[in-house]
């Protein structure tokens, strides 16, 4: 039995009248079976230290960093840094769009795919959202937003990120 559950069972046994404990062992066994089948609950029961929680929350080390001559997109840290070291502030929606494009670097990402992933399936035809947000991203990231080098539009199809 899980050490945490054992401690709980011992405390219940000491505090309770033996006649009222009928079924407690079965209940504890059921709780433990549920915990074993639920990995996150099992981790929470067995590793409640602060370093353990931090370790579980840390991003995967294989998250890519996409570099351009003008800025760097760090997907693990969820940040964009200009070549002069200045942090670029992005809204959550801008970040989601940039992240999808950066993960598909060099490949065409369709308008429908971007709309579905960022806003959901009911927004697949709202292409005006993409025009607005990509214009905002270009103003923040491109050296000349009116002549984009990195965030390219493929007319009527989608967008491409070219580092």
Q: Which two tokens stand for residue 24?
A: 């407690």
d(C-alpha 73, C-alpha 14), whole Å: 57
Structural domains of the chain, with CATH: 3-57 (no CATH), 65-161 (1.10.10.10)
In the predicted model, what is the mean pLDDT of residues 112-136?
Answer: 96
| Tens-digit pLDDT profile for residues 48-103 | 444 443 333 344 456 789 999 999 999 999 999 999 999 999 999 999 999 999 99
Terminal Cα distance for the chain, rounded = 53
pTM for this model (two decimals): 0.62
| Tens-digit pLDDT profile for residues 90-122 | 999 999 999 999 999 999 999 999 999 999 999
Q: What 3-state DSSP class applies to 128?
A: helix
Residues above pLDDT 90, as percent of the chain = 60
């Amino acid at each position: 039995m899980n050490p945490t559950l054992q401690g709980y069972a011992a405390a219940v046994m000491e505090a309770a009248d033996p006649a009222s404990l009928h079924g407690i062992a079965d209940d504890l066994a059921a709780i433990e079976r549920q915990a074993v089948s639920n990995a996150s609950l099992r981790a929470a029961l067995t590793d409640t230290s602060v370093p353990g929680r931090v370790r579980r929350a840390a991003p995967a080390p294989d998250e890519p960093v996409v570099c351009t001559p003008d800025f760097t997109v760090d997907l693990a840290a969820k940040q964009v840094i200009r070549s002069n070291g200045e942090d670029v502030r992005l809204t959550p929606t801008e970040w989601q769009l940039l992240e999808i494009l950066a993960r598909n670097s060099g490949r065409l990402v369709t308008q429908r795919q971007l709309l579905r992933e960022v806003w959901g399936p009911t927004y697949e035809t709202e292409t005006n959202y993409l025009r607005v947000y990509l214009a905002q991203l270009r103003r923040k990231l491109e050296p000349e937003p009116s002549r984009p080098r990195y965030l390219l539009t493929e007319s009527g199809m989608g967008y491409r990120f070219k580092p």
